[in-house]
Amino acid sequence: MSNSPSSTGSTSKKSVVDTAVANGSFKTFSNALRTAGMVDTLQGKGPFTLFAPTDAAFAKLPKGQLENLLKPENKDELVALLNYHVLAGRSSVADVGKMATAMTINGLSAPIELSGTKVSIDGALVTAPDIASSNGMLHGIDKVNIPTRH
């Protein structure tokens, strides 16, 4: 495979976190990652697949829930919630659509649904698929997924 300029455009030199920040639609998600202390990990080698709720998705949370999650005393809960939006490995929406469930890095599996060409993870529709980064793949979703405690 050559290193011609035409073959380098598919993957950004930015990490999944930097890609989310640069996108502009994931400010709340990026802030939550910083608050949770997860930025360094997600800027690491990876690869990671992030299902990043958009700012509009965070706005749908019940009043006060986000503010409560961002409090220092709730860091463990915030980390668990954010880890429920991350998969190990680099997966495109096409790859994810072939799965019945996806194992998140918090240890819980999230159900995957494929309806035509639309993919959902735990009820969150992928609205901005396949945003490539240097260490993974970012997919914007329209809902914040809350991990279910067993």
pLDDT value at position 64? 93
For the segment 109-136, the average pLDDT, to the nearest whole number, is 95
Q: Which residue has the higher pLDDT, 150 or 83?
A: 83
CB 50 within 8 A of CB 137: yes
Band of pLDDT at residue 12, cut at 50, 70 and 90:
low
* Confidence at 149, pLDDT banded by 50, 70, 90: low
C-alpha–C-alpha distance, residues 122 and 112, integer Å: 6
Strand ranges of the sheet holding 136-141, from the earlier edge strand across to the other edge = 86-88, 48-53, 136-141, 124-133, 118-121, 109-115, 101-103
Computed over every residue of the chain, the mean pLDDT equals 89
Q: Which structural domains are found in the chain, ordered by start?
A: 13-91+127-141 (2.30.180.10)
Helix/strand/coil percentages in the chain, nearest 5: 35, 25, 40
User: What's residue 148's pLDDT?
Assistant: 79
Q: State the pLDDT at residue 31.
A: 95
Q: What average pLDDT does range 63-77 have in this prediction?
A: 94
In the prediction, which pLDDT does 150 show?
Answer: 45
Least confident range from 5-19, 21-35, 68-82, 122-136: namely 5-19
Model confidence at 71, in pLDDT bands (50, 70, 90)? very high
Return the SS3 of 48. strand
